[in-house]
Structure 1
Amino acid sequence: MAKTYYAEGRQVAYVLRGLFILGGLGIYFSIPGLHWGFFFGILFGSVILGEIFGRMWTSKRRKDKKAKKSSRTSGVKQVSTTKAKSRAHNTSAKAPMKKTDAQILKADVRTLSGTDFERLMELYYIDQGYTVQRVGGSGDHEVDLILKGKEGYKIAVQCKRWKQDVGNDIVLRLKAGKQVHGCYDAWIVTTSNFTKAAKEAADKLNIKLINGLSLDERLKRWDRIAK
């Protein structure tokens, strides 16, 4: 773009130079008796004025270009900032508030998030006399809780707050997780039920399955509201 503006400036300089020369010569020849020095002065002055106005044109064009570019950049930054704030606001609005233990204990178990359901079962087993270690997260090998009873052996527990039935893939992964965490036994607790394949696999691998009906009975017997 710089070359284009320079070329435009040169054209402006040439045009103005010609106009100044023509105008100057017109005045020179219209006034009789002028010294010949005025003639060369007109030529020289026309060249100088043409160069000055040509450079002014080029400089102005470049400044206008920079001003437009700066305005567009500022507008893009402002829009980006507005979008970022909007996304942050939407994310904040969608993020569920973390429930307190009291809220978890009073809530309908099937309305809890997966994390809150794990916390409910942690509180339940603590009240049943177990020492509970919370595992969960990445690399948990399908083990959410590790219970340790009075006898001293450990139990790997997987908590599934699901609507659909739990399949045998969860059972098989818990079998591996049980070994990874050095547990003697393994249980799966769910708010739903288990597929036929899951029940068959659990029976062969000696993994205890606690379905939604059994869980409801346990929670009814447990006076959790008073905790």
Structure 2
Amino acid sequence: MAKTYYAEGRQLAYVVRGLFILGGLGIYFSIPGLHWGVFFGILIGSIILGEIFGGMWTRKRRRDKKSRKTARTSGVRKSSSNKAKVSAHSSSAKIPLKKLTDAQIIKADVRTLSGTDFERLMELYYIDQGYNVQRVGGSGDHEVDLILKGKEGYKIAVQCKRWKQDVGNDIVLRLKAGKQVHGCYDAWIVTTSNFTKAAKEAADRLNIKLINGLSLDDRLKRLRK
């Protein structure tokens, strides 16, 4: 950008120089008897004046650019400061969420629960069904949230999905691997939504049980009673 301003200044210098030369020569030739030194004075003076005006233009443009840059920087800093203040105020104004009790989780609308509370709800449900339940979840769970152990002694891997969209076959395939990692005999997927056609086909081939939202609602009604 500095080169552009310099080029603009040079262009202005050439224009000013040309105007002064033309004007000076017009005066020189319109007045008879002027000394030849005046002619050279006009040329030299025009060159000097052109350089002065060109240099002034370049310096002015650079100052303007620097002023705009400083103004933008100050504006960004001020905006960032205001955002930080608003964020701090909002954080301090937030009321900590209370952890739901088991009774509240059971009575709540399942679709309003967090993913963690939904896992806890399913844990309570399967405990009520007579299973010994181990919570897994977290990173490295291999798509296994709960491990059930019944009276027969074999283990069942359960994946809980509190989703609005349908569960795809990628979850089914990952649960198949998770079942093997955790040494489980069976695998179930419980969701508040439904399953895609590909997920149903994959589950049928891999012998994985799918429990959709409608079936889940019926089971929870019995739990709440």
**TM-score if structure 2 supplies the norm length?**
0.60
Residues of 2 paired with 1:84 and 1:145: CA distance?
42
1:23-60, CA deviations, whole angstroms, 9 ceiling, x for partnerless residues? xxxxxxxxxxxxxxxxxxxxxxxxxxxxxxxxxxxxxx
Residues of 1 paired with 2:155 and 2:107: CA distance?
29
Query: Relative to structure 1, is the Cα distance of residues 158 and 86 closer, same or farther in structure 2, using a 3 angstrom cutoff?
Result: same
Residues of 2 paired with 1:142 and 1:100: CA distance?
25
* Partner AA of 1:184 in structure 2: Y
Q: Determine the structure 1 residue equivalent to 2:183.
A: 182
Q: Determine the structure 2 residue equivalent to 1:117.
A: 118
Is 1:127–2:115 an aligned residue pair? Answer: no
Is 1:198–2:199 an aligned residue pair? Answer: yes
Query: Relative to structure 1, is the Cα distance of residues 174 and 95 closer, same or farther in structure 2, using a 3 angstrom cutoff?
Result: farther
Shift of 1:116: 0.4
Q: Determine the structure 2 residue equivalent to 1:53.
A: none
Q: Determine the structure 2 residue equivalent to 1:140.
A: 141
Residues of 2 paired with 1:195 and 1:96: CA distance?
34
Q: Determine the structure 2 residue equivalent to 1:93.
A: 94
Q: Determine the structure 2 residue equivalent to 1:221.
A: 222
Specify every segment of 5 or more residues in structure 1 that has no aligned partner in the other structure, as ranges: 1-75
Shift of 1:100: 1.6
Residues of 2 paired with 1:115 and 1:86: CA distance?
27
Shift of 1:83: 3.6
For the 8 Å contact 2:155–2:183, the answer to whether it is kept is yes
Residues of 2 paired with 1:103 and 1:209: CA distance?
26
Query: Relative to structure 1, is the Cα distance of residues 102 and 222 closer, same or farther in structure 2, using a 3 angstrom cutoff?
Result: closer
**TM-score if structure 1 supplies the norm length?**
0.59
Shift of 1:94: 7.5
1:89-143, CA deviations, whole angstroms, 9 ceiling, x for partnerless residues? 5287276432121211110111111110000000000010000000000010000
SS at match of 2:94: helix
Q: Which has the larger radius of gyration?
A: 1
Aligned residue-pair number: 147
Query: Relative to structure 1, is the Cα distance of residues 133 and 88 closer, same or farther in structure 2, using a 3 angstrom cutoff?
Result: farther
Q: Determine the structure 2 residue equivalent to 1:55.
A: none
Cα root mean square deviation, aligned: 2.5
Query: Relative to structure 1, is the Cα distance of residues 190 and 88 closer, same or farther in structure 2, using a 3 angstrom cutoff?
Result: farther
Shift of 1:221: 1.9
